[in-house]
Structure 1
Amino acid sequence: MASFKNIFNSRAPKDEDFFLALNKLLGFKPKNIAIYEEAFTHRSTNEKSAEGHAQNYERMEFLGDAMLSSVIAAHLFNEVPGGNEGYLTKMRSKVVSREHLNELGRDLQLINHVKTTIPISQFGGNIHGNVFEALVGAIFLDRGYKYCEKFINKRVIKPYVDIEKLEGKIISYKSLFIEWCQKHKMQFKFAVYEDTGNDTLKHFAVKLHLDDKIVGKARATSKKKAEETAAKRAYYKLQTEIEKDF
């Protein structure tokens, strides 16, 4: 096996910086740096292996998602012995939600290491969570389950997983609002329309109707985001009534 010095000296200056940053990020020395390079490579580079397979973070993202779910599930199973399947599933979903994974990726500034031909400013918010999942997948491939578990425990569980706080965390305001309306048999409607305005990117505006009243409004670059934000605003407007049921 090559020594640390030989690995370090065999790389270009930019790669040396990546190796050192990676070593600090992981808390241990990576064995196969090429795996991590792929985990930080965006599909826009169009890189391929000798066999012609695409080499970017998407496959590792899939693997990392599975590893995260596995480690978090085991942690919750041990920490909450009285939790039933439904409770544990809901709690795990809160930990590995897209919003939370994006937060993790941003906190670790992973996007600074992404190899891409597209300006970083043009990426959506999910790039942060996608790369975080890919990094977890790369750790599993490079060092196995134990190191993967150690990393998730250090970077996810210890700083972010508080059972009491998670119980009160809302993943989707839209889902919660719909569930509340259905429970009380109230009529609601998300009225969506394109709203370009003076923005460079196309925007969508949403008005959330509850019976005959507008209880939330929002604008965003996608219908999904606009509806979620409108539901969130409606939730805080009707919080006292909604929380009686949850």
Structure 2
Amino acid sequence: MKGRTVVCTTQSEAEAALVAGLLEAEGLSPTIERSPLRSVFPVPIAFFGQLRVTVPDEEADDATRLLRRFETVPSSGPKVVPLHDDLAPLEAAIGYRFRDRGPLEQALTHRSRAHEDGTGPESTNESLEFLGDAVLGFVIADLVFEEYPQSDEGQKSKIKASLVSYTALARVAESIALGQHLRLGRGEEKTGGRHKPVLLADACEALIAAVYLDGGLAAARALILRLLAPLLEETRARGLAVAGAGDFKSSLQEYLQARRQSPPAYRIVEQSGPDHDKVFTVDVAAAGKVLAQASGRSRKEAEQQAARRALEALRDGSVDFDDAARR
């Protein structure tokens, strides 16, 4: 019977699947073997034992050469290939060190990558987005409740919405260079997925969920307050004025009316995602010119963010209505 050589050992399901996918893509025959260790606790075996990626002995040299492209293999031979050390800079950026990097790896894995690797939807960050959205919403709602006790429900809701919007989360993701760590399929990579606000916002929610699963609610709350600190300071500086400032559509219409321009017109240019998690991309135009474009989880949110960007463009001089009118 032919033997097999271990080329990678890990406790991460995602990493084992990634290594196996890389080897299969090169025509090799990897197998993921689980530790025989058993547990009475209802958690994945990877928490307690090792996962080993093996190949037939005759493929060991080829597998080792392939994996060296991603990480240096110890000189003693093909034993362990630690692919996840590249996540250390991200841990430093968020101020949190994972005890188990499995949830973190999943939080960074877009469905386009999972589709190519053949690991299935359970290995993508979509379910973590759902959990992260709930954890984020709870933490921010609790914060708003404590800091704005005199405001009414509508004001509280608008303050919360300004802090958990796609735009806010994309800003947070950019501040920690989250896009550099996303695990994307080749198609998504080619279309600039690392810089798409929607993908960044989704990954930010998934990251929050990963910290929650690894360290609990206290760790997740500390992370949220740390990452959103600049936005929170902006909100505190404006006070309850932020509740009114959230209606960017009204502000844009007033701005245009004051300059005798036609009202803004909004148009959906794209819808993506499953029915339960749609993403809308909307542009806003006036005087025959598109002023801005933005995305959101609802048409209303996308329109509000497009109006906000349009106001910014008008106020900083990026748009000249006199020129537009002459055309």
TM range (shorter): 0.5 to 0.7
The aligned residue for residue 81 of structure 2 is: 12
Distance 1:76 1:230 in 2: 25
2:91–2:98 Cα contact (<8 Å) kept: yes
The aligned residue for residue 159 of structure 1 is: 230
CA spacing shift, 1:21–1:166, aligned 2, 3 Å? farther
Distance 1:193 1:40 in 2: 28
The amino acid across from 1:12 in the alignment is V
The aligned residue for residue 28 of structure 1 is: 96
Q: Determine helix, strand or coil for the equivalent of 1:161.
A: helix
For these two proteins, the number of residue pairs brought into alignment is: 209
105, 113, 116: which one aligns with 1:37: 105
The aligned residue for residue 174 of structure 1 is: 249
Q: Which has the larger radius of gyration?
A: 2
- When the two chains are superposed, the root-mean-square deviation of aligned CA atoms in Å is 4.0
The aligned residue for residue 58 of structure 2 is: none
- What's the CA shift string for 1:127-152, capped at 9, x where partnerless? 22111111001111111111101111
The amino acid across from 1:173 in the alignment is F
Q: 1:109 and 2:184 equivalent?
A: no
Q: 1:85 and 2:153 equivalent?
A: yes
How does the TM-score come out when normalised to structure 1?
Answer: 0.68
1:1-246 equivalent positions in 2, closer than 5 A: 12-18=81-87, 20-45=88-113, 46=115, 47=117, 53-118=121-186, 119=189, 122-123=192-193, 124-156=196-228, 158-162=229-233, 163-165=236-238, 167-169=240-242, 170-171=245-246, 173-174=248-249, 176-177=251-252, 188=263, 190=265, 207-208=285-286, 214=287, 217-218=290-291, 220=293, 228=307, 232=311
1:98 is displaced (CA, Å) by 1.3
Distance 1:216 1:233 in 2: 15
Q: Where does structure 2 lack aligned partners over 5 or more consecutive residues?
A: 1-46, 49-73, 257-261, 270-281, 317-327
2:284–2:310 Cα contact (<8 Å) kept: no
Q: Determine helix, strand or coil for the equivalent of 2:98.
A: coil
The amino acid across from 1:64 in the alignment is G
- What's the CA shift string for 1:84-126, capped at 9, x where partnerless? 2111111001111111111000111001111112326522222
- What's the CA shift string for 1:184-230, capped at 9, x where partnerless? xxx94628699xxxxxxxxx98543xxxxx49752659896796378
The aligned residue for residue 67 of structure 2 is: none
1:48–1:55 Cα contact (<8 Å) kept: no
Q: Where does structure 1 lack aligned partners over 5 or more consecutive residues?
A: 3-8, 182-186, 195-203, 209-213, 238-246
The amino acid across from 2:237 in the alignment is E
